[in-house]
Amino acid sequence: MTETPAEYVPPKVWTWNKESGGRFAAINRPIAGPTHEKELPVGRHPFQLYSLATPNGVKATVMFEELLEAGHPAEYDGWLLTIGGDQFGSGFVAINPNSKIPALVDRSGEKPFRIFESGAILVHLAEKFGAFLPTDPAKRAETLSWLFWQMGSAPFLGGGFGHFYAYAPTKIEYAIDRYAMEVKRQMDVLDRQLADNRFIAGDEYTIADIAIWPWYGGMAKGVLYEAGEFLAVHEYKHLNRWADEVAQRPAVQRGRMVNRTWGEPSTQLRERHEASDFELKTADKLQTAAK
């Protein structure tokens, strides 16, 4: 018979236990700031993106690829940023004091400036190029409402459900149940919205779709945390319809490849500096060239 673990009693003052376990225990810490000196590389394009192909990173690369697909002059250098290493380098902390990807430096004007947080990057680029953010006040408000919904909801999906279901050193029933309930509620919110709308904010593809798809589209298709069966994602038919449509967009297919270091080699493009890199520099092409 399995014994119930003793109830945890929090101490009066919390102290950091470096050996607390979990997949990312080695890189988590309760303080900010750099751990070492390391400058960031700078390419020749107007935009310098430092990222990794996590859902938050994919938002930024999909946005750039969508802008380029639509004919906007949004050429960028997509630099791979390693978790636990580059993210705590002095150069990256200088452009994102929170040490999280993605972060962007806009060098298109007289003086470069930083933009961090994926939602801020999407809004900045949408406003700069007048794309994927409606100008009609009501449609703009709807789009921004869904964008901020995603920014506020994703921590429940990633840091909450994803952590306790996939990464925590022990399976805690209460934590998994609590976050599974919330994630299913969020997917139901989207499913109901998409029952009456082609895209998240209406009939127009916007930054709301670009922000939500990497997280909730991935969950709807059972990709994130391999939790599709557990969460019965097939039940959300409108969400799945939308996820499939967005996934078929050429810019989305390219964007999810940038700064990717896992999966099929043909889907991995560690760095993106030219449009031709998708044809010439994916991991499988580099492996073949090295033989």
* CB-based contacts of 138, cutoff 8 Å, min separation 6: none
* Distance of alpha carbon 177 from alpha carbon 107, whole angstroms: 46
Q: In CATH, what class is 137-254?
A: mainly alpha
In this prediction, residue 123 carries a pLDDT of: 98
Q: Where are the domains of the chain?
A: 47-129, 137-254, 260-290
Per-residue pLDDT of 71-101, as tens digits, reads 999 999 999 998 878 899 999 999 999 999 9
SS3 label, residue 71: coil
Q: Which CATH architecture has domain 47-129?
A: 3-Layer(aba) Sandwich (3.40)
d(CA 93, CA 100): 9
Reply yes or no on whether the pLDDT at 4 is more than 70: no
Cα distance between residue 130 and residue 79, in whole Å = 25
* Cα–Cα distances in angstroms (integers) from residue 25 to residues 18, 29, 60, 145, 168, in the given order: 7, 8, 27, 34, 10
Report residue 157 CA to chain centroid gap: 12
Read off the pLDDT band of 20 (50, 70, 90): low
Residues forming a β-bridge with 76: 47
Do the first three CATH levels of 47-129 and 137-254 match, i.e. the same topology? Answer: no
pLDDT at 26 over 80: no
Question: Please, which pLDDT band fits residue 270 given cuts at 50, 70 and 90?
Answer: very high
